[in-house]
Each structure stands twice: as structure tokens, then as C-alpha cells.
Structure 1
Amino acid sequence: MSANLEKTYNHHEVERRWSSAHWESEGIFDAESFRVLDEGKVPYTVLMPPPNVTGSLTLGHVLNHTLQDIFIRYQRMSGKEALWLPGTDHAGIATQTVVERKLREKDISRYDLGRKEFLEHVWKWRDVYGGLILKQLRKLGISCDWRRNLFTMDESASKAVRHTFVTLYRDGLIYRGKRIINWCPVSQTALSDEEVIMKPRKDKLVYVRYQLAKRPGEYITVATVRPETILADVAIAVNPDDTRYADLIGELAIVPVAGRHVPVIADDYVDKEFGTGALKITPAHDPNDFEVAGRHNLPILSVVGRDGKMVDDFGYAGLDRFDAREKIIEDLEKRGNLVKVEEYEHNVGYSERADVVVEPYLSEQWFVKMKPLAEKALQVVNEGKIRFHPSHWISTYRHWMENIRDWCISRQLWWGHRIPAWYDEDGKIWVAESYEEACHLAGTDKLIQDEDVLDTWFSSWLWPLTTLGWTGEHDDNEDLRAFYPTETLVTAPDIIFFWVARMIMAGLYFKHEVPFRDVYFTSIIRDMKGRKLSKSLGNSPDPLKVMDAYGTDALRFTIVYIAPLGQDVLFGEEKCEFGRNFATKIWNASRLVFMQREKVFDSIDEFAEAYLRFTPDPGSLSDAQRWILGRYHEMLSSYHKAFAQFRMNDITRIVYDFFRSDYCDWYLETLKIELAEETDKSRKRHAVSLAVYLLEGVLKALHPVMPFITEEIWHHILQRQTTESIALSAMPQSDEYWTGDEKVHSFASVQKVVSEARSLRAVFGVPHDMKASLIISSPDESARRTFAANAHILTQMTGCSVDVSEGGLRPPHSASSVIDGDELFMPLEGLISFDKEIARLEKELENVSSYVKRMEKKLSNKGFVDNAPAEVIEGEQRKLGEAKSNLEKLQANLNVLCD
């Protein structure tokens, strides 16, 4: 490998050379339990939220998996046995939908094939297409132990699912019963809450009057957005505190069209402010109505079928539910029951996959009792045994856990874990982990297995256990002993209830310990207009194309840099220009350092011999070198604190600011000056070794975020084998010795002088190629020594000859400034044309003065001040203040030239 880098940074070539395939082949990311159990290494485990087997890479995946990769690479470099457990989810509804769509193209339905043959099609599809997202994640450079990749339908995971179901059933926590569930009329299955997407929708709010049976000519009016379900009304409810209806409680009302007599009941559930304050109760078509019916012992009637069509006896049967809605409104008007119709916008649940309105449906399903599980899961979070980042999600978690409902776990699908329950000829249920066990329990082999499968989340709530090989309650293995509980979970906040909470429940129930210690909730990525990314809006960039255009490191760095903990991210593809520019800066700075290495060392081998023994020698360091070492260790201190506090975007900012400003803009510039003037070869070599030492430290700190470019440059520091990796090197630590060095602060004064001298040249238009004089007057002896010792740097970086004195009069026609009590003077005679500069300043003064007068007049206008928004007025006042400040500066500069 050549000693220096190619002239131009080519991310395609670098990423090809250090691909995930290379790292995997060398076992760089393999974690072993024996190192924890036998050698005493501290474990650190991260769980990959399993992407759907149907999925492809999104920017959400990029952010989530990059953050996980940062955590795992950092801890691996910190000396821990770091294990990242990968896997994919079988995604029951999504996968079955994809395969059924393919079959429909051939005019084949799953029923034509039968369950067995259909599942063979699904497995074939999965084998061909199901690994796409894992290939894409590998392109992202993530450092999983890919040997351990788990699919939620693998046999070990399936065995764990069956064991879990049977155990919870026998413990009285799983039951079968009739409840209102989310039903997709297209997919023909129950849906979990996370499979329902709430969307704003405009509907008609229909006001309908019901004749009171025993009070001729009197009515009670209700408002409803679902008039088609009037046919299934069993009561009208009012709030017991609503005085408008106090005398009607206990009366009977006649349901329009159906003619059924139903009672008027009192229930606290009713919102007095909605509609008329009277609510129709239709238990089979609303979960809240179902609860009301239970409290009042009301019958349950259903008029909408599994396919979303009416099944009533009143002339609407066979109509689509929305067509029936329009027809019944017409019929209500004809019958004289329609009072009025208003437009009403509200949030309505849609099936995530079929994109149709979900139907609340009364169905016999399998449920998990959640309250007994939720109590302990809430307790461990309240006690801090599991920490949320950001912490405000605890209140959301607490609210959900305290108001939790039973979990419907059955799905009317064929793809998934089939429910391990069998029915005998009498309809009795036998729950067992196998057919043979069920037959033994039932005393007969004439059993039929339940047709349903389990909710996809029923397998993924076991993820911290099954990824480590757990298959049952008494199962134990070395991986579980070494790596459970895991450490950090990185996930989106929208599945805090459906996955995070349930994993906590499962871990506590089956292992009697929390499944993880920290949960990092990622930001929501939005486009530059603040909209969530979606395919339908066409505002979601393809990450693979972004990586191809800008580089994977650039995308990774950018997306973390702009993602503060707990805040949304506004992302546009063009923002990756920032990350690409930074990668180029790293490359070019490294080339410069390696060029200096070639100048002072006779060979790469000679450098290697010196560098492997190198430690910064305080006696050989210049002020600038002491300063950069102090800044470097301050950077490391802030960097490690940011990690401990889960401030991931801060780590990128901390390293970026140090490298770009301190290392490149200041230190490398001083290095070139010092090397040019230094005659002692050993001091030159020490200086270059220090530059490489700092560069390597920066590369290590950046490696968790930018793995490809850092691996490439690290291999150019020394002649390293391809089997070696920066990923296995030690993360540098902060040393208080250097952060406390007074030289860190003294050289900072040199920097201020350089910046101010450059500013004075710019303000007065002193040409860059003209040598100026800079007089530094300081009453402090220590400061004078610092300025004198660094005069060569001041001269080279400002283009000025430097004179340091204890005090003196200000030279005539001098630009001046004061920095920390030290005065700077730059005589201007002979450098600029005074007449031209005076004319320019007078013209600018005139323009700014006119602007100030206009702004003052505007802000004294009562009509403007009284009518303009407060933020507009504040903005104008701010502009006026800035203009007045500029006016003072211009006048001061003019005075310098007119002295």
C-alpha cells in the first residue's frame, strides 16, 4: 500500500475496498460469549429492530441503523465484547399481500392453492426477495455479527413463540373471546393498532331524531358519522349530569327504519359537548359502545359483515357500507327523521396495507391480558431500571401502560406462526406446543388446529430472547448468560407501545429481568417543508442513490449531524453536500500530513519505527503544539460525555469543529510554518509524529460515524494488514494533564491576534500581498513572551511584521483594536489610498445613515406599530440596532483616516 493517499477522494473506490463483505470475512464484528464468561470482558449488546422481510432501505432505516452502528462501534473500540444482533421480521400481512398480488396476476387465489401450497409460494418468494434489505444495510456499513442473523419464522424462534403462547395460556393470561377489533375488509383479518394509520377525513355528521315511544310527538336527537349502523342501535345514552335529558332516562325510543324500541340510558362516557349530547349505542361497531353495552347488559347486533357489506334485514343487505350510508340518509329524510347534515372533519383509521377504512368488528379472537404484565413493565421504567432518551417519552409510556387494553393476537392469515390450539369434535380447546401433545391431552387424534396465525408482534416481543437462542422458559445457554440483558435499543417512538413495552413485559415475565437498559428514540425525518417522508408524496429520497452520489460516509455523517436528540430532522438530499465536503476535507488534510511525513522521514519504515514509540514530549513541544494537544483532549472529554448522555449529533459536531477549525485551520497552518523554520531534524520528526498522532485520534473518534474513509486513511498511517481494522483499535481517552496546560490558553491569545489582524486588513482594504506592520502593546510580561515566541507564526499568518512592546503611543493613522487588555495597532500609511478609502467610507456612512433614518421613521409610525405583528416589529428593531452599530464602526474607521 502506498505511503500517501490518492490525490482525489473517491468514495466509490474506498467503499468497495472496505465493504461489509471484507469485514465479515475477517470476522471483525464477531462477538463470542467465552470472552465474557471466561475472560471477563464486559458485554455490550444492541438489538436490531427487525426490518420487514418485504422492506427496502429508507432514510428512517439509515438514521436508525447508523445510530446503532455508532453505539456498537464505539463500545467495541472501548474494549467491550460488543454484539449487534441482526434479523428480519416475517411481516405477516405485508408479505402475504405481496405474494397474493403476484398470484392474482396469474388469476390464482390462495384458496385455489390451499394453505400448504400457498405457504410454499411464500417461502420461495422470501428466499428470492426477502434478503434485499439486509444487502442494502450491508452497503450502509453496519457492523453486525451477521453469523447470528435471525428470521422470526426460523425454527428456534417459532419454538419460542409456541412455548410463550402455551405458557401464557396455562397461566391464565391468554384467552379466547368476542371483542371489538380493528378489521380490514380487504385483507380479511384483524389488525393491531400499529397496523392502523390515522388519517384526516371529511364525513357527514348526520343529526337524526328518534321518536319517543311513550311520548307522541316528542323526539330525542343524536348526531352520528355512521348512520348505516343505526340499524344495529340497542340504546341511546346521555350523560347523567346533563339536565337537558334528565327526564328522559328510562324512556324508550324508536330506532328509525329498524322500528326497534331501545332504552335511553345514562352513562359517564357520553360527552355532553359533542353533537346534541345524546349518543346512539351500537356495541358491535364501536369499542366504546361495546364497553357501555357491557355495563348496562345490552344486546349486541351487527349489520356490517367481514367484507364491509351490509348484512341487515331492512333492505340494505349486500350494499357496500359507504353506499348504504348514502342510501339511509336519503331514507331518513323521506321518513322525516333527518334533522340536518353538517360537514365534519375527523381522524379515521385506515388499514396500513390495503389503505381502506378499518371497520370496528365484533369477532371471536385470541387475546393477551395486559394489565398484569403492564404493572411490572411500568414499575421498572419508573424506577429507572430502563432509561428513555429523551426522557419525556416516559410520560407517554406511563399513560399508555396505565390505560392499557387487552392485546388481540390472532390474525386471519396463512403466513405467520399458526396458533398452537386444537379443537376436538365437541369444540373443546386444547392448547399445546405440538399436535402430538394436544392429542395426548385430549385423548384423541381427531383434532383440528385453529386456522388463525399470531400477530407479527407476538414473535418480535420475544426478540431480546430469541436472538440469543432462547426457545423456552427453562432454556439457558452461554449467549444468554453472556449477553442478556442487552444494553441499548434504538427505535422509533411510534412503536413505543407495540414493541418496546411488550419486549419489557416479555423479558420480565420469562427471564425475570429487563431486556435492555437504555432506549434511544430516533428523530422523525421530514422534508424541507416539514412534511413526513412518504412514497405517496414523492418526497422520500432513495438512500442508495444518495450514497452513490455523495458517499455512504457523507450520508451517515450528515443525517446524524442534523438529528438532535428528541427533535425532528429536516432533510434534503442536497444537505449531504456538507458531509461530502467534510469527507474531502479529512482526505486532503491527511494527504498534507502524509506529505510532511515524506519530507522529514526517509522511509515509511523509519516513520513506523519512530511512530510506534511516539508519545508527546512536553519538552519538545512548541506553544502551538501544546495548545493543539490541550484542545484535542478537551475534544475527547466532550466527545465521551456526549456519548454517555446519548447526544449523538453532538459527537459529530464536537469532532467536526475540532478537526476543521483547530486542527486544519490553525494547527496544520502552524505546522507548515514551524517545519519550514525548524532546523533540528528530531524536532521536525516529533512535530510530524504529533500531527499523525492527532490525526489518528480524530479518525478513531470519527470511525463509528464514518467507517469507510477512516478505515482507509488509518491503513495509510502504517503498513497494516488487511486483517487489521481501526474498528478493533482502542478509542482514545482524554488526559487531564494536557487540558490543564496553561499553554492551551496562552496560544489562544495568539489566535485572537491573528483573527483581529486579518479583520483589520479586511476592514481597511489592505491588499493581501502588501506587508503591513502590527504593533502589539501589552502590560503583561507573560503575554509579551507568548507573542514574541510566536512572532514567526503571527507574521506568516497575518502578513505583518510584528513588534511587541510594553506600552506606547498609538501611531498616527493606525487601525486599532483591544483584545483581553492588549492593544493592537496597524499603521495604514503607505498601504492604502487614504482619499479613496475616506470617500468610500463617507459614501457608506451616508447610505447607512439614510437607512437608519428610514427605520426610525417607520418605527415611530403609530399605524405601523399598532397593526404589525410583534415578531415583525422585533425584526425591524433588530435591523435598526445593527445599522446603528455599523454606523459607529464606520465613523470610528473614518476617524482613524482623518486623524
Structure 2
Amino acid sequence: MSEQKAPLNLEKTYNHQDVEERWRSAHWEALGLFHAESSRVLGHEKAPYTVLMPPPNVTGSLTLGHVLNHTLQDIFIRYSRMTGREALWLPGTDHAGIATQTVVEKKLKKEGVTRHELGRREFLEHVWQWRDEYGGLILRQLRRLGISCDWRRNLFTMDESASQAVVNAFVALYRDGLIYRGTRIINWCPVSQTALSDEEVIMKPRRDKLVYVQYSLVNQPGKYITVATVRPETILGDVAIAVNPADPRYRELIGELAVVPLAGRHIPIIADEYVDIEFGTGALKITPAHDPNDYEVARRHNFQPISVVGKDGRMTDSFGYAGMDRFEAREKIIRDLEEEGSLVRVEEYEHNVGYSERADVVVEPYLSEQWFVRMKPLAERALQVVNDGEIRFHPPHWINTYRHWMENIQDWCISRQLWWGHRIPAWYEPDGKVWVASSYEEACHLAGTDKLVQEDDVLDTWFSSWLWPLTTLGWTGTHSDNDDLRAFYPTSTLVTGPDIIFFWVARMIMAGLYFKGDVPFRDVYFTSIIRDMKGRKLSKSLGNSPDPLKVIDTYGTDALRFTIIYIAPLGQDVLFGEEKCELGRNFATKLWNASRLVFMLRERFFSSGDAFEKRYRAFSVDERSFSFAEERVVMQRYHTMLERYHGAFSQFRVNDIVKNVYDFFWGDYCDWYLEALKIKLSGVQEGEAAQDAVCLAVHLLEGILKVLHPVMPFITDEIWHHIASCSIDESIALSAMPSVDEGWLKTDTTLDALPQLLIAEVRSLRALFTVPAGTMAPLTIKPATEGAREVLVANSAIISAMTRCEVGIAMDCQRPRHAAGSLVEGNELFIQLEGLISFDKERDRLVKEIARVSGYIASLEKKLSNRSFVDNASADVVDKEREKKGEAERNLAKFKDNLDVLSN
């Protein structure tokens, strides 16, 4: 056991660098605070709660997206740990096939060497060396966020156990007929020379030429059918022209033959409902080797594809363009079409075009022989478990997106023409016959020969990622099992971005059901998209993406974590500006200063730390009668906050969690309860009542620290260690989360809360009439009942001190002349204004305010009467506009009443 420390007050000023350095996750890790053990679950000591970290790319560095995603995960895991569950957070990194290979190839290029000159084996040695040297950067940066993973279990997708699982999964799927090698249209990067997943294709707006070309009709001399295309270079690969059977313009031409310009080939005009009647001319050239949709049309009509663009993005045709870059050929073909007389016109056309994420070149739809997974057999059950609620989405509207994709799912291209990654476990005989096996030795045994060569391609990075819920728990094959899997699978909550709902979430569900017979997780929380204050996505190219590490240096980790959760409602985008972190920093400072105040009261009323600790350990909220009415109020509101807090967790409304705690701490605890407590104790020197009051203040502070800990781990652990004697190897992270006392929720505090409500209204009136803050104002209160009078008289000193007013309380008082009045729970209050403000200036100000607010209300009414806005905007947006209107109308009524006061 480490040395005990007596409770001492905090440093005068909160310094986040010092606090975070002291409680860095490395310290928590050294104590093993975040270790989870399957034995405690299997022994029925604790229920499991498991979070699966979406593995960041080994090439990655910390972004605000990581901050939001990992803070959410940490909140869920810390909360579950503090509510008594065996909380396991499984960390790891992804080998990021094309990204890592690109980084290493660029490094080698600077050294004057290519991977082909090195050869596969030596090149991979360079990649592993790079990974060992730089690949842990993202994890080191994540540690600065204070995330509470069980780092003993950190897994890399290329580790031996994970690699074995990938091989075994491939073999099992192949032998079940779910993996095959075939020819289909895939995304191809002409620079990286590999197939790409849809996730590696970035859509960008691009201005191209929309070229209108006429195809002469073979059997109707002098007549043509016109087609519009943005890819005239692929005309050479046309196999048909398609029109919609419902289009009356072309009904008579279906079955006719047309002549392909420049190529001279005769192709049929066919009917297919895929054709969009409204686009271009309503006639579509079908080039199946260079467009995935055309490929499907051609399959339906039994046409053979003709390829005219090669792997390197250069033409391969036999019409004089071979060897030309595809974009150079495009311009020449436009000129040649014009010279031939086939060009009708050219228009500027802006559309979204796919670019390779790594090479930043236009992706080429390419007809290629690749390895595929048959997805439809896997998708049916994966759709059912979401429809049936076995897996819940938060927010639930993402179910519609998931359902649409699963119902229209296509086979998954899993092969990549790279060297870095899991090499496909397939071996070829000299005649091309393929053998899929878990090892070379097994393949030789199956083939009856050792004259085998392994497939050069590696697997798509997502192939290892879809096994992540299994491999992180030690699964290595179709029948492997262990204590961790039995204890922690299925996992509990997945936190991820909605942009990978197809690439990762859906595939993990399919893999979990296929290999383990159960879903991989119970809940999926889809994070918000972070945008800048102009609503733009954060990107390096726009220069609008703040460096989280610099933000942490400036504002503190806790401040960043608090802010990004506070401004991130479930299912809504986040508008982030670095300056918003002042919210989190100010809150941390308020928490620090409030704690210092409470600790100073502790030192004032207790002779020593031991004396306080003895009384505090024996202190029971339920067994005492309070000396001050404010204590009943704050306890009732504290438990109301706890009820909302736990309820928000159960509904995955993390944003509400933070706001509930913020409102209670800042408004009820600090601005009301502590201020009232200071006044009540100002003339008291000693006594058990005062000591109990301090104990209650500490009790509430400790509860606040605990509910805040999942969001702000550093500052809460620091302050918690100053409450009472504890060893340095203890942590608030392992303490019990406060629970709701139903008795306090039912407590009637209507009268007890009256002084607080009255104080708030007096402050509002002073602000409305711009009464100078330092001026004592005459305040007259006419209580509604005798009980209200007793409460107000007992708290008159607090009311006076907190409103800067001279308070008079009488059951039979009349409203003074030139007094601002209001009503609080039936109790009348009046502030005498004469002599405090300039009536003429205040009247002028109110007239201007009335005009301004009236104009604002008119603009809101116009907006809300616009059917287009009401019908197209989300319900939340419309409700907010209505709330603005209601608030403005209430303010207008107040301004008019106040003007009457000053005018009469």
C-alpha cells in the first residue's frame, strides 16, 4: 500500500498540465486499474460490459473524429466500471494495407529505390520496420485522452493470432462456397495498381464535358439516335444503346442496329428500365467493361464486354488510340467525332467523380478477375437481427440505411494487388488449378504436388476488420473458443461513424453470425459528423481541422472531452471551433474553485483532516435532519439529476448526460447552494450543525465528481484524492457510481425552493431595468401564505445578499409607486426604481427593445408560415424556431409591462 495522504486544499489556480501529467493514463495503467478478467464474469461475480475499439490505421494520427469517438467509448466503459460491471475495452490498430504501403513506398522513393527492386520479402521487412518505429504514434496520442483500455490486450491486425484467424476464415468461407474467383467490375487505382474498396474512393465534384454523340441507324439511312456521355473515350467499347421501354421517343427504335462512331461496329438498341428518361437524351450507351451499372445491363442481355482502357489508365483499343492516357484520348476522340460528323454538341457538366484516397487520381471502373465473397447468403440473417432488435442502432434512423444496403447487397471484392497485408491462402498449379488451404503444406497435400505458387494478392483490409469482435478476444478459427470469448462475447457497445455502416458494421454482424452463431454486439452508437463553424467537413485540404494535441495543450484534455460531448447531440452534426473549448475550460475552473471553497469550509470547521474524515465516514444523509432549507432543495435536485443521468445513459443520450450535470452543478450547487451555505455559515464559528452542513457539501461534491468522471477523468481523480485520506493507488475510477434515492424524488420542496426562485426573478428584473449591479435596491415581498412568509423571513439575509436588495416582507403591503413588479408562485415582489435609474433613458431603451423584438418575432412568424421550411426542415429545427418565437414573445410582454411601469 502506498503512503497515505491527508486531505489538503487544492492549489489556488487549476493547472491542467500538472494535473493531467500526474494522472496520465500511464499511471492508471501501471496500477492495472483497467484490467478486466474473464474469471470474474464466469464466476458470476460481475456482469460483463465490453467495448470494441474501431482500430485506427497504423499510419494515423489523432483527429477530432478520434477525440469524439474515443471519448464516447471511454464514457461508456468508465460508467459501466463504476456501476459494478466487469468492463473490458479492447484496443488495437489496423494494418491499413494501401495506406501503409503507400507511405513506405514514398519513403523508399526518396532513397532512390522501388519495392520491385527490393523484392517482396525485403520490402515487407521495410514495412515492419516502419510499423515498429512509427506505427504506435496514434496509440500514444490516444493515451493523452486518458482512455481506459485494457492495454495488455492491444491487438494489431497483422499479429500472428489475428492472421491465423483471417486464413482460417478465408478457407472456411471458400469451402462453404462463399468465396470464389471471378471477373467483375471493380474500383481500380491506375497509380497504385490495385483494386480499391468503396471506402477508399473519395467522391469529389468535378467539371467535365457532357458530349452529345449521334449514332447512325444501320437500316434507316440519314437517321440517328443521340447519346450524351461524359466518357467519350469508352465509346470504342460500346456493345449496345439502351432506352427505357416506357419512353415513347424511342419505342419504335427498339431492336434496330446503330453504328458505333469511330469504331464502325454495329450494336443493337435495347430496352431496359435502368435507363433514366430525364438524363441527357434518354438514350444510354452500354459499355460493360467500364461501368458497373452498364455491366449489369449487359449481363441481363447477354452481351460480352469490350475493354478499351488498361490497368495503367491508358487506352488499349485497336482504333489508333492505344497507349494514350485516357484523358488525352478523351480530348482527341472529341475532335475526331467532330471531324467525322458524329459530334452534336458539348456542354459543361459538374458531377461527383470517385478519386483514389491515396493517389488522388480518378478511379477507373475496371473489369478484372478478383476474389469475391458471396454476400447475399450472409446478409439475410444479418438484416433480420437488426430488424428484430437483437442489435439496436442509436439513433434508430440508421436502420433504414442499413436495410437498404442489405437488401441490395453486391458481392464483395476482397483481393488487393498489394504486398502489405494478409496474403490470400491460395496456391496454383502450373496449369492454373487453384488450391485453397490454411498452409502451403496443406495445399501440397491436397494437390498431391509441391509445384505450387501462392497467390500474389493480399486481402482487403476490411477482411481482417470484419473479424475484429472475434480476434480481439482470441478467436483464431472457425471452432476455436476460450474463456474470454465465453465471458465477453457478444460485446456490448460499438461506437463508430455512420460512414462505415456498410464496410464494417454490417460485415461484422455477418461474420459474427456465420463464425460464432451470435451477433457481435448489442448496441451500435453512430457518432456525429464534426464540421467547422461554416458547416464544412473538417479536412486538411481546407485547413479547417484543428490539431487536437494543440487544443489539449491550450485548454486541457478534460476541457476538450467535455466540450466535444456537450456540443454533440445524438444523431446531429457538430459545429466545432477551437474557441468553443473555453466552455470546457471554464467548467473545469468552476469545478476546481468550487472544490477549493468546500475544502476551505472543511478546514474552518474541523480541527484536522482526521477529525473530518472520522465524521465524514460516519455521515449519513438519510439519518439526519437538515439545519437549512437549502439542503433539502439541493438533495431533491441532486437525485433528480441522478435519475436523468442514469436514464440518459440507458438511452445513449450522452449529450444530455453532460448537460444535466452541468446545469445542476453550475446552477443548483454553485450559484445557489454554496452561495447560500457561505452566507448561512458566515457568522458561525463551530458546532455539529455546521460540521454536518460541510459534510453534506462534500458528499454532494463527491457525487458530482463521480458522475463527471467518465467525461473528465483527470480533474475528477485529482480532486477526489483531496476529499479524504486514500492511497495513491486508489482511484475514483474504481469507486461506486451514485444511485438514485427514490425518497428524495418524492420530497416536496416547493416552499423550500421559494427563496431561490424569488432571487432569480429579482435578478431578472434588475437586469431588465438595468439597475446598477452595485446599488442596493428596496425590495418589498408580499407572501401568498403564512408558510411562505416563514420561509422568506428565515432566508431574508440570503435574499438580501444574493440580490443586493434591502428586503421588506409583509402580508398586507401595497405596490409602491414606480416599482417593477412580478409574481413568483403566487408571491408578489416589487423593486422600487425611483432614484435608481433614469426613467427617460430607460423608457427610450425599452421603446427600442420593443421595436427590435417585434421585428424579430415578425421574421420568425414569416419563417414558420413558410410551408417549404416547415415541411423540409427536421422536427428539431422547426421546434427550436418555435421556441425562439415563444421566448421572444415572453420578452416582448415583459418589456411592454416595464414600459407601463415607467410611464404611469
Match in the other structure for 1:833: 835
Matched, 1:293 2:298: yes
Change (3 A) 1:419 1:797: same
The more displaced of 249-258 and 395-404 is: 249-258
**CA displacement, residues 487-515 of structure 1 (integer Å, 9 cap, x when unaligned):** 00000000000000000000000111000
**CA displacement, residues 213-255 of structure 1 (integer Å, 9 cap, x when unaligned):** 2222222211111110111111112222223222222222211
**CA displacement, residues 855-877 of structure 1 (integer Å, 9 cap, x when unaligned):** 79x99xxxxx99xx999x99999
Matched, 1:888 2:887: no
Change (3 A) 1:9 1:325: same
Give the residue type in structure 2 aligned to 1:749.
L
2: CA distance between counterparts of 1:693 and 1:671? Answer: 14
Decide which of 183, 203, 227 is 1:178's aligned counterpart. 183
Give the residue type in structure 1 aligned to 2:652.
F
Displacement after TM superposition at 1:177 (Å): 0.3
Match in the other structure for 1:665: 671
**CA displacement, residues 576-605 of structure 1 (integer Å, 9 cap, x when unaligned):** 011001100000000000000000001111
Contact kept in structure 2, 1:852 and 1:884, CA below 8 Å: no
The more displaced of 170-179 and 750-759 is: 750-759
Matched, 1:778 2:780: no
The more displaced of 677-686 and 807-816 is: 807-816
Give the residue type in structure 2 aligned to 1:195.
E
1: CA distance between counterparts of 2:667 and 2:180? Answer: 64
**CA displacement, residues 834-875 of structure 1 (integer Å, 9 cap, x when unaligned):** 8x73444455467678x599979x99xxxxx99xx999x999
Contact kept in structure 2, 1:852 and 1:880, CA below 8 Å: no
Give the residue type in structure 2 aligned to 1:384.
G
2: CA distance between counterparts of 1:737 and 1:133? Answer: 47
Match in the other structure for 1:430: 435
SS of the equivalent of 2:442 reads helix
Decide which of 632, 648, 657 is 2:654's aligned counterpart. 648
The more displaced of 47-56 and 608-617 is: 608-617
Match in the other structure for 1:443: 448
- Structure 2 matches for 1:235-314, cutoff 5 A? 235-314=240-319
2: CA distance between counterparts of 1:546 and 1:348? Answer: 34
**CA displacement, residues 443-467 of structure 1 (integer Å, 9 cap, x when unaligned):** 0000010100000000000000000
- Structure 2 matches for 1:74-89, cutoff 5 A? 74-89=79-94
Contact kept in structure 1, 2:242 and 2:271, CA below 8 Å: yes
The more displaced of 204-213 and 792-801 is: 792-801
Decide which of 605, 613, 635 is 1:629's aligned counterpart. 635
Displacement after TM superposition at 1:107 (Å): 1.7
The more displaced of 362-371 and 785-794 is: 785-794
Displacement after TM superposition at 1:769 (Å): 5.8
Displacement after TM superposition at 1:784 (Å): 1.9
The number of aligned residues is: 881
Match in the other structure for 1:563: 568
Decide which of 191, 194, 197 is 2:199's aligned counterpart. 194
Match in the other structure for 1:862: none
2: CA distance between counterparts of 1:526 and 1:846? Answer: 40
2: CA distance between counterparts of 1:285 and 1:202? Answer: 20
Contact kept in structure 1, 2:215 and 2:258, CA below 8 Å: yes
2: CA distance between counterparts of 1:23 and 1:311? Answer: 61
2: CA distance between counterparts of 1:61 and 1:784? Answer: 55
SS of the equivalent of 1:182 reads strand
2: CA distance between counterparts of 1:880 and 1:704? Answer: 40
Match in the other structure for 2:488: 483
Displacement after TM superposition at 1:273 (Å): 1.8
Percentage of pairs with the same residue: 69
Decide which of 697, 700, 703 is 1:694's aligned counterpart. 700
- Structure 2 matches for 1:504-515, cutoff 5 A? 504-515=509-520
**CA displacement, residues 745-768 of structure 1 (integer Å, 9 cap, x when unaligned):** 222211122223344555666666
Match in the other structure for 1:330: 335
1: CA distance between counterparts of 2:421 and 2:159? Answer: 11
Displacement after TM superposition at 1:519 (Å): 0.2
Give the residue type in structure 1 aligned to 2:551.
V
Decide which of 708, 724, 736 is 2:730's aligned counterpart. 724
Contact kept in structure 2, 1:841 and 1:894, CA below 8 Å: no
Match in the other structure for 2:399: 394
- Structure 2: which 5+ residue stretches go unaligned? 860-864, 871-877
Displacement after TM superposition at 1:430 (Å): 0.3
Contact kept in structure 1, 2:853 and 2:888, CA below 8 Å: no
Change (3 A) 1:766 1:390: closer
2: CA distance between counterparts of 1:278 and 1:59? Answer: 46
**CA displacement, residues 124-151 of structure 1 (integer Å, 9 cap, x when unaligned):** 0000000000000001100000000000
SS of the equivalent of 2:149 reads coil
Contact kept in structure 1, 2:93 and 2:157, CA below 8 Å: yes
Match in the other structure for 2:875: none
**CA displacement, residues 379-433 of structure 1 (integer Å, 9 cap, x when unaligned):** 0000000000000000000000000000000000000000000011221110000
SS of the equivalent of 1:746 reads coil
Match in the other structure for 2:797: 792
SS of the equivalent of 1:612 reads helix
Decide which of 224, 232, 237 is 1:232's aligned counterpart. 237
Displacement after TM superposition at 1:296 (Å): 1.5
Displacement after TM superposition at 1:622 (Å): 1.7
Matched, 1:714 2:715: no
1: CA distance between counterparts of 2:348 and 2:852? Answer: 53
Match in the other structure for 1:501: 506
1: CA distance between counterparts of 2:149 and 2:764? Answer: 50
- Structure 1: which 5+ residue stretches go unaligned? 860-864
**CA displacement, residues 496-541 of structure 1 (integer Å, 9 cap, x when unaligned):** 0000000000000011100000000000000000000000000000
Change (3 A) 1:723 1:177: same
Match in the other structure for 1:599: 604
Matched, 1:373 2:378: yes
Change (3 A) 1:99 1:725: same
Give the residue type in structure 1 aligned to 2:444.
C
Displacement after TM superposition at 1:276 (Å): 1.5
1: CA distance between counterparts of 2:489 and 2:154? Answer: 17
Give the residue type in structure 2 aligned to 1:747.
D
- Structure 2 matches for 1:611-626, cutoff 5 A? 611-616=616-621, 617-626=623-632
The more displaced of 377-386 and 425-434 is: 425-434
2: CA distance between counterparts of 1:334 and 1:852? Answer: 67
SS of the equivalent of 1:271 reads coil
Change (3 A) 1:546 1:847: closer
Give the residue type in structure 2 aligned to 1:640.
H
The more displaced of 793-802 and 239-248 is: 793-802
Change (3 A) 1:255 1:628: same
Change (3 A) 1:430 1:843: closer
2: CA distance between counterparts of 1:35 and 1:854? Answer: 65
- Structure 2 matches for 1:855-866, cutoff 5 A? none
SS of the equivalent of 2:289 reads helix
SS of the equivalent of 1:285 reads coil
Contact kept in structure 1, 2:784 and 2:828, CA below 8 Å: no
Displacement after TM superposition at 1:111 (Å): 0.5
Change (3 A) 1:429 1:738: same
Matched, 1:385 2:362: no
SS of the equivalent of 1:529 reads coil
Matched, 1:685 2:691: yes
Match in the other structure for 1:585: 590
Change (3 A) 1:765 1:378: closer
SS of the equivalent of 1:619 reads coil
The more displaced of 32-41 and 371-380 is: 32-41
Q: Give the CA RMSD over aligned residues.
A: 2.5
Contact kept in structure 1, 2:80 and 2:87, CA below 8 Å: yes
The more displaced of 264-273 and 413-422 is: 264-273
2: CA distance between counterparts of 1:765 and 1:196? Answer: 59
Contact kept in structure 1, 2:818 and 2:901, CA below 8 Å: no
